[in-house]
Structure formats: C-alpha cells, structure tokens
Amino acid sequence: MLAGRRSWWRIAADIEDQSARPLVPTRRGSRTPREKPVLIATGPGQVWSWDITDLRSPWRGKAFKAYTIIDIWSRKITGWRVEDRESDHLAVEMFQTAFRQHGTPQFVHADSGPAMRSSALAELLEEHNVTKTHNRPYVSNDNPFSESEFRTMKYRPNYPGIFDNLQTARDHLTDYVPWYNTTHRHSGIALFTPQQVHDGSWKHAHRIRDRALQHYHQKHPERVRARPRTPAPAGTVGINIPDTAVTSSPE
C-alpha cells in the first residue's frame, strides 16, 4: 500500500488541465412527462445500456460515431463498433454479435435517438425476449452508465481529440475497449476492473487488498481512527432505483 485514495486525488489535482474539464450543457423547458425508467441488476448479464457518441473529425460538421454496449452491473463493455454514421441496421449487427458472445440480457436501456428506437432493433430484442427501455426526454441521469463510460474514454491522457479518418477511430477503440475492461480501475465498482467484477475474480483481489490494508493498520494504528474496511462492489445496481435497494456484494 503506497497511499490512500484521497492522496492520489490530491496528486492528480496538481496535474495540468485536470481541473479544466468543460461543463456539460443542460436544456431546460417544460415537456410532457414520460414514465421514469427503473432498472435493477443483481449480477452480470441482466441489464445492458447502450449509446452512441461523436468522435471529432478534421472536417467541420463531420463526426464518426462510436457505438458501445455496457453491462451496468459489472461496467463491462459487451459490444462496440465505430462507423461514419448512425444506423439502425449497424446497431442490430452490433447486438447480434454481442448476443452470440455474451448471451442475451433481460433488459436493454438507451436514450431516445432514432437508432435506439428503430423498429429493426425493437424486432431483434423482441425476438430474443429482451425488454427495452428509454430515457425520458431531456433527463441526463437516465443513462448514467453509458455516459460515464464515454467520459472515461474522452478524458484518458492518450485520447487524440480529433481522428484523422474512420480507421484511426476504430484503431483507438480497438485498444481502448480491452484496456477499459481488463485494466481500468473503475471507481463505481470499488476500483476493480469490469472484467474482474463480471467474472467474479474481484473476490480474490479483494482478499489480497484487505490483507494489505489490515497489515498496514496493525503497523500504524495511530494513523486511522478505526479499523479500515476494504470497499467491495455493490450487490445491486440500477437506474433510478432507491438508495435502500443498493446492497454490498458478498465477499
């Protein structure tokens, strides 16, 4: 154990540009209310979230489109592709591949874009007995897992900002997705990797962490007020679920 988590945040705060992140604009206005989506996952393969984000190109008004699917319980990316446009049939192909590789979830959540609400994708999900849900209009926190993943991608130090061509954008995500799944220590899952949480190997890593933390406490009890507790991923996660429904994973 080299330092506590808060110490690393203090170090990161001194790095140039870490505090200069742009504010995300929000829209205000009265709209007809739509039913709030409520989704709960207690394990991997139950609820997927997906979205499309822009990857800037050198040409004004032109952006490449990065599609990603994420398992909200483990935060693992289960499907992705990069194209030059949004398309319902491209989204369908992505889900077909994801279903073959990871099985079918019970729910798929997305925002209300044209590709997300397309009849082609709806037919595919219905064929596999998957229930689909959508964001409420102009509600930014109805799809927090996909938004968080895109933010991680775009604030990595090696993110180029502008991609010269479609192949460059695809090459970047070819490197990014394995890093995100197997190396990225995700703050939302107690600094384990998505793959560790997805396959359950986080429990072994948790025991190692806990032994190191308890050993540190035994050597320096004067540095902490109480015996430290090693965080674990939540046993229940979801979208718009009450705080009382969130539980810790069994260690």
The pLDDT tens digits for 124-157 are 999 999 999 998 877 767 889 999 999 999 999 9
Q: Which residues contact 74 (CB under 8 A, 6 or more apart)?
A: 44, 189, 194, 195, 197, 198
Q: DSSP 3-state assignment of 236?
A: coil
Q: What is the mean pLDDT of residues 10-29?
A: 61
Q: Give the burial string for 157-196 (b: 16+ CB within 10 Å, else e).
A: eeeeeebeeeeebbebbeebbeebbeebebebbbebbbbb
Contact 39, 47 (CB under 8 A): yes
For 188-240, how does the pLDDT look when each residue is reduced to its tens digit (9 = 90+)? 999 999 999 999 999 999 999 999 999 988 888 888 888 889 999 999 999 98
Determine which helix (DSSP H) or strand (DSSP E) holds 70, and give its type and residue range: strand 63-71
Residue 219: other Cβ atoms inside 10 A? 8
- Which of 63, 94, 98, 95 lies closest to 81, judged by CA? 94
- For residue 18, the model assigns a pLDDT of 46
Residues 30-35, mean pLDDT to the nearest whole number:
64
User: What pLDDT, on the 0 to 100 scale, is given for residue 32?
Assistant: 60
Mean pLDDT of the chain: 88
- Domain 34-189, what fold? Nucleotidyltransferase; domain 5 (3.30.420)
Can you give the pLDDT at residue 65? 96
Segment 76-80 shows an average pLDDT of 97
Query: For residue 128, what is the DSSP state?
Result: T
Domain ranges for the chain, please list them.
34-189
Model confidence at 34, in pLDDT bands (50, 70, 90)?
Answer: confident
Do 230 and 213 touch, CB atoms closer than 8 A?
Answer: yes
Q: What's the pLDDT score for residue 19?
A: 46
Sign of the CA dihedral 9, 13, 15, 16? positive
**Which residue did the predictor score with more confidence, 20 or 88?**
88
The pLDDT of residue 222: 85
Check residue 246 and give its pLDDT: 58
Angle between helix 166-182 and helix 144-154 axes, rounded to 10 deg: 110
Q: Quick one: average pLDDT of 10-15?
A: 78
